[in-house]
Structure 1
Amino acid sequence: MSDGLRARATAGLERLVGASVLERLALSVTALFASLLVGALLLLASGYDPMFVYYYLFYGAVGTPFNVALTLQQMTLLLLTGLAVAVSFRAGLFNIGTQGQLVLGALATALTVLAVAPLVPGGLVGGLVLIPLGLLVGAVVGGAYGAIPGALKAYADANEVITTIMLNFIATGIAFYLVNNYFRVSSTVATENVPGYAKLQPILFHPSSSFSLLVFVATLALALGVYYMFKNTSFGYELRTSGLQPAAASYAGVDAERMTVASMTLSGAIGGLAGAVYVLMVEGRYIAPPSLGFDGITVSILAGNNPLGVVPAALLFGVLKSGGLTVGFETDVPPELIGVLRGLIILFVAMPEFFRMLGGWAGVADRDPVATDGGESDGAEADSGGGDDA
């Protein structure tokens, strides 16, 4: 590569890394329209009318109250798994095990609610007991399962990518074995349904929508809380420095090993909470969840591992998931082509963030500068254009 070309590439990466919030938003919107254009050309080449397909894609996401509820349901679940991944990634750890934490959190929630239900009265009182209990158990079990790779990383220097991937298989196997051999009540590998009063009920939406507006609002509040924790609390500062700058963390008196375990525990707890919500809001029983944990990785990366950025990223995924279902039902477009369209949209929207990450890896700029005095260095923050505030 010539010096001139290398200089232009470096300047371009510096511009992307230092882009302001509005500039990054404009890039994402432009990338979205570019993906729709490329998708339209692909559909035309495949013999399908792109306007017809896109109509059902977006109608399926927001065309009716039921479709809106389905979109928000998917968004809620993906927001939780995206937050779980973002917490670990912001701490410099790669939690690929959110799916396993979600699975065990969901199973523990279902079994706990079914076990305790006969001991409490039904109706409102039963719901006030069983719903918080189920959510708490899901978070605790997910957090405990997330703490395992955290401890292995902190005290045995085990690679968390490998351990979390392996723990996904273990969690899935444990859940299948227990349900299939001890808690199965029909030909489907699933537990019996939890009592109706123990489910998270829809508000303003039809009961068949399996979407609770209350959970959606609480999940948005959780995203704000996680953002505030990382930005304004000493605990959040210690989580970031222990993973991103261990030397600076030790100099500041931070116990890096303890914070590694804490970050993976918190990440796992949010993943387990997603499993609890899946049981109590969507299915009403334990049945093997879809790959929400793996989707959460993509959501987090698309959001730049920013807890606030996870909100629009989860919304985009929710729209594509629910809209894709309608396209599959209402058109003769093959499911594989629908998957390609979804992948194109995600790829194009993620490209600006990919180049920003590439710039950070190449040493073009520090994406998340951390001062050793417990706060972010003002000069570095200014240089980065406030990129983490998106």
Structure 2
Amino acid sequence: MLGYVPQEVLFNIFLNLPTKTLVLCSCVSKSWRSVIANPSFISTHLNQSLTCNRKLLILKRYYGNRSKQEVRFSLHLDTETLDLYQELKFPFVNQNGDSKIVGICNGLVCFLGLDLLLWNPSIQRAVAVPRTSEIVTIYGVPDYYALGFGFDSCTNDYKVVRLLYFEVKTPFNYKRSPKVEVYEVRTGSWRAIKIKAPRCEIVKSGWTQAFVNGAIHWVAYREIGRGYRCFVLRFDIVEECFSSIALPERLVNYSPYDLKVAVLGGALSIMLCGWYCFETYMSSVWVLQNYDIPESWTKLVSFDRSQELGMVLGIRENGEMLMESKRGEVVLYKPEIQLMKGLGIYGAEDTFYLNTYVESLALLNEGKGISKKVAD
């Protein structure tokens, strides 16, 4: 047949096409879709995107007045001026200002609002993660919970991890370990894991998580007398087991509400927030230089409250920091000379979220397309 093109040739041609074009090509014929929707192609396409010279950042922020705020997502080039690459349409209605991004991995955004959602902005496909599970059915609604999100390289699947806390009402206020369950995109359901989590707590509403080195990390703590003993709780997403990483001694007794875990410059990091006149400010940033050596925690930079700087959003390869100012603007901060430069990107204070981003075909097989009516 003159019109026949071998699949290996199509494979190589499709690898050089952008994600949106690939979605359209997958609708042309069954043979084309069989190539594009093949897990091997999706994985190869992702690996190629990860090695691409063009580095992208995804930015989330809210804008509007206090009575009505709308969320805004955009992609930016990783340049000194954070040049706009593409505005993204946030397709989910009825999401309020209390929503948060759990994490971003391989182009997938795990979003917690009124619903728990996985969203691929590149191809406008999404998965709604059910709130109910066998544990919830048996024990009822938890008093609070924490979430983590990452990629299992062994099974080539994305997972959401949920730590469910059920407070025990006894005269001695004895606290149990959280119950833990994992949601897998491929199965579309939650399952409890057998390995018991250590007896510790995570901040009820202000928790953060970081996925790096194949593991999810949270700031956890145990109450000691009237104080705290903080550490990093680690969950290996492949082995599905827990361990801990000690914090530098200067941080272990801080309130866990003042500690935020993040990935900055590809390394596990801890951000320490200070308080002044009932407002928070960035105090210092610590980076784990060698992941396998807890003693390698190093204070990267300290801040003074007079600098009017909010959270650290990211670190560029040259060491420059992207931060939020108290005026609600993204700024470029050069710590070695303490120079702050506004980038003209504004939003509501304390609503910014920035992360690296790669365009991918994740959820092409498992997700549902988002209708134009909802997206517009």
- TM-score surpassing 0.5? no
Q: TM-score range by the shorter chain?
A: under 0.3
Point out the structure with the larger strand share.
2
Q: TM-score, normalised by structure 1?
A: 0.27
